[in-house]
Chains A and B, each alone.
Chain A
Amino acid sequence: MSNQEPVNSFSSRIVVLPEANIDTDQIIPARFLTTTTKAGLGKVAFNDWRYNADGSNKDFILNTIDPTEHRVLVAGNNLGCGSSREHAPWALMDYGFKAVISTEIADIFKSNSLKNGLVPIVVDQPTYDKLLKNPQQRVTVDLEKCALTLEDGTVFTFQVEEFARQCLLEGVDAMGWLQKRLPQIEAYEQSHGKAA
């Protein structure tokens, strides 16, 4: 959480999961949430899409690509809906993803992603269609410029909440920012009858 690697610009191939409404139970099924750490969740990312009950591989794209070459996940509308589990971005990042792209990204998943350096990018339908048309393409994500550049040269300017963007660029987090406000927090508690 603290002093994480600053995120700025990177290029990578995409991997496309066109299904809409990929919920966080698909990204990491609940039975893997008994962990007390964040480590090693990449191996169970999309577990039930990747593996049969006997542990053998299913015919699924995340089993065939090289995660170090495909760091951008493009998914159908409303990615990350459902549970608030931060294990979802932890699992995606541990697998190797650095950004997720969809036409809509669920609120809590988006917030959780931003806190871990996974860049959530909401694109318009034409940009999404171009990504799907060439699902092997290489894209560039530039957080400084909020620019997503497609292989055909199309540049899409995305929006990221400004505070979260600054935190990612600088590699700092909101905990320290909130702690600096403890005097104001104490004053609020005093004036609102909420002191301990």
Chain B
Amino acid sequence: MAQSTRPKSLFEKVWDAHVVEPEGANSPAVLYIDLHLVHEVTSPQAFSELEARGLKVRRPDRTFATLDHSIPTLRPDAQGNRPYVTKQAEIQVHTLEQNAAKNGVRLFGYDAENRGVVHVIGPEMGLTQPGYTVVCGDSHTSTHGAFGCIAFGIGTSEVGHVLATQCLAQRKPKTMRITIDGKLQPGVTGKDVALTVIATLGFSGGTGYALEYAGPVIEALDMEGRMTVCNLSIEAGARCGMIAPDQKTVDWLRGRQYVPQGEAYDAAAAEWLKLKSDDGATFDKEIRIDGSAIEPMATWGTSPDQGAPIVKGVPVAANEDEERALKYMHFTGGEKREVEKVDVVFIGSCTNGRMADLRAAAEIFKGRKVAEGVRALVVPGSEWVRVEAEKEGLDKIFTEAGAEWRLPGCSMCIAMNGDFVLPGQLAVSTSNRNFEGRQGPGSRTVLASPATAAASAIAGHVADPRQFMALEEA
């Protein structure tokens, strides 16, 4: 019997290849997981559950752990003591070290040259490969979708399921294709694309869907930009967002530590390039966005969909939720963004802590000074990023401008390691969430691209980065 020739979407192709047992009316599908990434915060209770049931990690070869959320980004003292925010944070780190050792799981710990933010190091080492299913107890796992993976965040119970069986019980989500037409204007980045998508879909517009990003703007983005776009899928409610692999994907991954090498790589790459939505594939929903109209974005409220082009200023509240958000932010509808005095600038995170992000920030910092009264923190996404950035001299550019250069970690994005924004302070942040108090109790967050964050650090207020760029007409 010939296989069905019904055109399939990228999502369906990867999903179908991982179904161990199909779903029925009363039971979900058993979905095989190729790569399970683990960090210290959402794993301890899952390891305890395994232990309580007398189980071990079933596939330690498909399980990789790192330390990123609770770890200090300040250097250890002369005796090697690390400045943990609390004893409990240190215990949590040691708990993962012990759980990894007991189960034979590779941990990229303090001694590893690849330690870093989980969604930065997965792709960087080539652990993330096109066509994989990737999960992690972290909602920004969608990042790995930039490589044509079905990648999504799971809770701690599900972390336990994957540790024990390498599978998850899952219902197939609906699919949505977001096509971004046209061509980005100079000075507009992947982050601005993502914030535009979220503002278009709304905070829950993607709930229940797996997203596929497509179109000329996505094709023209570099891999870092694509990771930023996929990373923020969850901020529109979608657990997973993906992009078809292309030659850029293949070139980016070639030679990385965990991918096949030599001829085997070319054979793998040939398969990866087949992973795209067929002509005529159908989606439960399709939307199109004019990429040529996207401008540098900044959020003005307390959810990631409350964002607008910087040049348009703060919108007038359209409902009670927006009024509440503006009140929390101390912003007034109709005002220019330039009146928003900035206290803190944070550049880093799984959203924007990669080399391309740091280079974009450094271009603006170079030869300039952080405005008086602004604290700027630059936190590389991984040890590899830190070393590369230092080789290129980016760290010098940051510190000469007056910014702090830290060790890799999630840092001020989730603010659980001692790096936080003080009550009432306004932060321009390249991270992913501007929720009330996300960066510390009472903190106010404006989400933006690395270029915009750097420009805001220099200007001392929320600023359009294009004024600091030598833009070439494309």
Contact = CB atoms under 8 A, between A and B. Distances in A.
Interface stretch (B45-53, B114-122, B250-258, B353-361): B45-53
Contacts of A112: 155-157
Interface string B159-192: 0110011111101000000000000000000000
Contact of A35 (B88, B165, B324): B88
A23 interface: yes
Nearest to A18: B320
Contacts of A26: 435-437
B30 A178 contact: yes
Chain B contact residues: helix, strand, loop or mixed: loop
B315 to A, nearest CB: 17
Contacts of B157: 1, 86, 112, 115-116, 173-175
Interface residues of A, number: 55
Nearest to B166: A185
Interface stretch (A9-17, A75-83, A134-142, A146-154): A75-83
Contacts of B69: 33
B88 A53 contact: no
A184 B22 CA distance: 11
B437 A53 contact: no
Interface of B: 17, 20-21, 25-28, 30, 32, 34, 41-42, 44-45, 48-49, 52-53, 59, 61, 69-70, 85-86, 88-89, 91-92, 95, 137-139, 153-158, 160-161, 164-169, 171, 203-204, 207-208, 234, 237, 239, 303, 321, 324, 414-416, 423, 433, 435-438, 441-442
A-B CB proximity, top 10 nearest: A112-B155, A36-B44, A86-B155, A84-B153, A115-B157, A84-B139, A86-B156, A30-B416, A78-B204, A34-B88
29 contacts: A23-B435, A25-B435, A25-B438, A26-B437, A33-B416, A34-B85, A76-B321, A77-B204, A82-B433, A84-B42, A84-B155, A86-B42, A104-B204, A161-B28, A162-B25, A162-B26, A163-B28, A163-B169, A166-B26, A174-B169, A175-B164, A178-B30, A178-B165, A178-B167, A179-B165, A181-B21, A181-B30, A185-B30, A185-B165
